[in-house]
Each structure stands twice: as C-alpha cells, then as structure tokens.
Amino acid sequence: MAINELRAIATFVKAAELGSLRQAATAQGISPQAASQALVQLEQHLGIRLFHRTTRSLSLTEEGAQFLQAAQPGLSTLQRALHGARHGREEIAGPLRIVAPRSIMLEVLWPVLEEYCRRYPQIEPNVQMDDRISNWVEDRVDVGFRAGPPPEGGIISRRLMPLQLVVCAAPAYIAEHGAPTTIDALAQHRCSGFRHASTGKAMPWEFKVGEEIVARHIASALLTNDVELEARAVLAGQAIGQLVGVTAAPLVRTGRLVPLLTAHVADHQGLHVYYGSHSAQPARVRAFIDLAVERLVGNPQFVLQPHELAPAKARRTTG
C-alpha cells in the first residue's frame, strides 16, 4: 500500500469519526484542501462514493459505512504498530548485535560496552567476535568494528583510532639474542607470524619507510591466528613479534616488552566502527556508537607516543 493511500484511509476514518473533513484535516496536521484531495483520490481509487457532502454536512454513504467497518480495525492495528516501532526506535533497550575482532573486543571495546550496559541496564548485548568483516545485512548486525582499512560495499564507517604495528621483544630475548637494528636484520632472528583469517597464510609485516608503507614477508618461527597467544610467546622470549598497538602499548609501558625498529612503526591501519544507516538507527545503536566515539577517539591509552618510543634507541644492541 502506498503511503498516500494509507494517509487517505486515515483521513477518511478520522472524518467519519468526527463528522467533519475540516476537523479531520486539523487532527491529521494537513490542510483542508489536502484532506479533500486525499478523500477524492480514495474514492476514485475505490470507484465508489464514501460520503454525501455539502458545504455544511458530511454523512457516510452505504458503501462508505461498509468500508469504514472493514477498514477501521486494520487501521487501528497498523497505527499501533507504527507507534510501537517509533517508540522502539527511541527506546534504549533490547538486543544490541555487535561484531568485533576478538583482541579489539577484549582490550578496547569491553570497557566501553561495560559502561554502556551500566548506563542502560535493559540493553541485551549479543556479541560475535570475528576477525573477518561480517555481512551486516544478513547477520542483522547493529554495529561492527574492524581493524585495518575502512570497510567497503556501501557501509558507513568512522575511524576511531590508529592501530600501530610495533615490533617488540622481551628483555630476556634481547639479552640472549640481541636486537635487530634494521628491517633486513630480522632475517637473523626468531619471529612470530599471524595467520590471515581468510587465506590461512602468514600476514606480511608492514613498516613505515620514509613516507611509504612497505610490506615484508618475515619467516615465522611461530605462527598463530590468535593475538593473545602471539603476545604471550613474545613475552616469554620465544620470538620477536610485530604486535598491534592496543596489545603492545601496556606491555611496553610496564617494561615487559621493548619496542624495536621504532623509526618504522606504521600506523596507516585503524580501528573503524561501521553501521548501515545514519537516519534509521535505533536510539540504542546511536547511543553505543556515540559512547565508543567519546571514549576512543583521541584516547592515548592504546597508542604509543613518540617519547615512549624514543628511549628504545638507547636499549638497542647489535643484531
């Protein structure tokens, strides 16, 4: 049913209830001319006359009375449904479907979600942790997060923070094996690798060289598809790893890891929030996105600052 037909039926029912087309127009928030035109169009569409009309009176025809009896219950049901949908759109309650990479969810997003749930206790989070970008339409995702380049395919996204790629080693590893001073020197060291979720192959390490980002395939002495396991291996002194900044930053700040090759730290990747629509977002989705933006954009907690990387030069040894 076209929306103008729905409006015309609503105008007809209201006019029948009030006995006045002018009063029906006022109740509908439209002009008397628009109400009269809607009624004429409805009668033309149905091929019947619904009202006997004069300048002073309005009364139902027999066909109009029959149509009113048939249309009124369905219109009331539809209007209740519309009201419920509008109310639900503005209510911060109910299910919130989130997709995010596991490491980002645990390290970065969980504090945001926890605060959000405290604010709105009627929210029911439904979280899927997945390193691949999901089909948000088929999976009925309300809001997703992706580490890497921005999502494609008509999805609206916003960059929340840069994701640094930091080469790190434990002090114990450096004491035993030394530290590389160049990218090429990594070939003489045990290095960890991260397996791509889609291809199953080790992802190349990426470095900033001048103004360019250079990808290098580094031989893996240890290969995994789990960020936490890779970080534990590096902490244990089993390998040098290139860790994402959200994982590396707290470990560097506590001295458990030492950043290496700091002149080549790349930050071209980012954490992005993505969603399907600006205008049709329910309030629960808008509120969560707004809180994520408020807590994460410009937050230095997950990004190593230049002064935190600079002292690493003094700890380097020949590799």
Q: Which two tokens stand for residue 88?
A: 């639900």
Tell me which architecture the domain covering 94-160+270-300 has in CATH. 3-Layer(aba) Sandwich (3.40)
Tell me the C-alpha distance between 290 and 151, whole Å.
19
Q: In degrees rounded to 5, what are phi and psi of residue 156?
A: -80, 135
Contacts of residue 285, Cβ cutoff 8 Å, sequence gap at least 6: 96, 142, 143, 275
Angle, helices 32-46 vs 21-28, to 10°: value is: 110
pLDDT score of 314: 41
Residues of each domain in the chain carrying CATH 3.40.190.10: 94-160+270-300, 162-268+302-315
pLDDT tens digits, one per residue of 165-175: 999 999 999 99
As its CATH architecture, domain 162-268+302-315 has 3-Layer(aba) Sandwich (3.40)
- Residue 300 or 280, more confident: 300
Mean pLDDT, the chain, whole residue set? 84
pLDDT at 221 over 80: yes
pLDDT at 243 over 80: yes
Q: How far apart are CA 206 and CA 194, in angstroms?
A: 12
Fold category of 3-90 in CATH: Arc Repressor Mutant, subunit A (1.10.10)
- Contacts with 183 (C-beta within 8 Å, 6 or more apart), sequence order: 207, 209, 214, 216, 261, 264
Q: Return residue ranges of the chain for CATH 1.10.10.10.
A: 3-90
pTM: 0.67
